[in-house]
């Protein structure tokens, strides 16, 4: 349990013209401190966060400690002024300040009987590595998922595949290489740039049956892997073995999940597995029918859009055409000798 990093907030301080303080030209500093779920109360977390800030700044800087409880883990945001209280000096951020803060935080947690991360991993690397399965899928991943969805509808040929992609609100650009752009995407993405398995030739082979269509379950469609079991395996959880607080929180979480599931089944009369399977099949059929209606509506909307475009062209040229008819110009074809 330790703050991830000590970093500077965006620079907001006004300095005299021509003066550049470099790395000391900072308004405030920000520390984040997180605790394991179910191990501490918000009041105690705020108290320990204030103690961490006072020890690190030695009480020389004004500060604020905000405790967040909107996540499963209670965490603190500590912001302190870079200028000292007596306005005689500014805070000098030392090297490896993250390790210094971690040691102070670990010492405070140990004094209060809280768990401490023994071998913490460094916080270097891309932010997506910290997010793991919860990170937002890239545009290429979304496009691959859409292509697999369209291929699952079994288009008859490549032209049908292109039309289905357009129906799914995906713009198509023809040229030397075919490119696609989905809603909210800034640039077109070429098929050849995805991977060897999604080139134009590969898609043609999938449509003709010469190549198998990739399994849709292996594609990240919503930024996370599909999880069937929502319960926490406490016996095989390393966190539960090392932290009694986490084990207690996991048991309560599992009980609440099981209770809400039981209440839902009882309220809907799903006390038998056959009834549950029947309702699941009805829900699936209803979803498929709605999906077909949406596709037909999308096709109709495209037709209406094309008709509106032609109506606009007609309204702009109607008066010119009427004047041409009245003029009688070239009413009769000229005679040729």
Q: What is the pLDDT of residues 20-46, one digit of tens each?
A: 555 557 788 888 888 888 888 889 999
User: Using one digit for the tens of pLDDT, what is the confidence trace for 58-110?
Assistant: 889 999 999 998 887 889 999 998 888 988 888 877 777 888 888 888 888 88
Q: Are 251 and 239 in contact (CB under 8 A)?
A: no
Q: Note the pLDDT of residue 46.
A: 93
User: Using one digit for the tens of pLDDT, what is the confidence trace for 219-232?
Assistant: 444 444 444 456 66
Sign of CA dihedral 229, 232, 234, 239: positive
Which comes out higher in pLDDT, residue 126 or 303? 303
For the chain, domains (ranges, CATH) are 6-124 (3.30.70), 139-218 (no CATH)
Rounded distance between C-alpha atoms, residue 226 and residue 223, angstroms? 10
Note the pTM of the prediction, 2 decimals: 0.36
Name, in order, each residue with C-beta under 8 angstroms of 75's C-beta and a sequence gap of 6 or more.
32, 33, 34, 35, 45, 67, 68
Q: Which residues does residue 105 pair with via DSSP β-bridges, in sequence order?
A: none
Other C-beta atoms lying within 10 Å of the C-beta of residue 157: 11
For residues 296-312, average pLDDT: 88
Rounded distance between C-alpha atoms, residue 77 and residue 80, angstroms? 10
Other C-beta atoms lying within 10 Å of the C-beta of residue 123: 13
Q: What is the mean pLDDT of the chain?
A: 76
For residues 180-206, average pLDDT: 82
User: Using one digit for the tens of pLDDT, what is the confidence trace for 227-253?
Assistant: 445 666 766 666 566 677 777 777 888
164's tokens = 């289905």
**Closest-CA residue to 112 (of 59, 35, 57):** 35
């Amino acid at each position: 349990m330790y703050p991830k990093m000590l970093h500077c907030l965006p620079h907001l301080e006004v300095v005299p013209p021509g003066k550049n303080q470099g790395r000391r030209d900072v308004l405030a500093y920000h520390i984040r401190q997180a605790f394991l779920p179910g191990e501490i109360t918000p009041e105690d977390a705020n108290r320990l966060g204030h103690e961490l800030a006072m020890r690190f700044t030695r009480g020389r800087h004004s500060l604020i400690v905000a405790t967040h409880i909107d996540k499963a883990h209670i965490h603190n945001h500590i912001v302190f002024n870079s200028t000292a209280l007596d306005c005689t000096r500014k805070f000098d951020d030392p090297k490896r300040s993250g390790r210094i803060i971690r040691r102070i935080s670990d010492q405070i947690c140990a004094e209060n009987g809280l768990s401490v991360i023994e071998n913490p991993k460094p916080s270097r690397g891309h932010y997506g590595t910290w997010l793991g399965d919860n990170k937002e899928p890239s545009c290429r991943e979304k496009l691959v998922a859409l292509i697999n969805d369209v291929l699952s509808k079994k288009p008859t040929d490549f032209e049908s595949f292109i039309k289905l992609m357009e129906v799914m609100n995906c713009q198509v650009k023809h040229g030397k290489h075919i490119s696609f752009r989905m809603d909210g995407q800034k640039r077109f993405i070429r098929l050849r740039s995805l991977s060897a398995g999604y080139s134009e030739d590969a898609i043609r082979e999938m449509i003709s049956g010469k190549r198998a269509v990739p399994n849709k379950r292996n594609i990240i469609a919503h930024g996370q892997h599909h999880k069937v079991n929502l319960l926490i395996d406490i016996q095989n959880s390393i966190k539960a073995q090392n932290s009694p607080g986490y084990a207690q929180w996991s048991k309560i979480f599992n009980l609440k999940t099981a209770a809400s599931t039981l209440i839902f089944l009882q309220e809907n009369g799903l006390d038998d597995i056959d009834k549950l399977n029947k309702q699941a099949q009805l829900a699936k059929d209803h979803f498929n029918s709605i999906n077909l209606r949406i596709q037909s509506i999308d096709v109709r909307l495209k037709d209406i859009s094309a008709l509106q475009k032609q109506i606009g062209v007609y309204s702009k040229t109607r008066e010119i055409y009427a004047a041409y008819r009245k003029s009688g110009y070239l009413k009769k074809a000229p005679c040729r000798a």
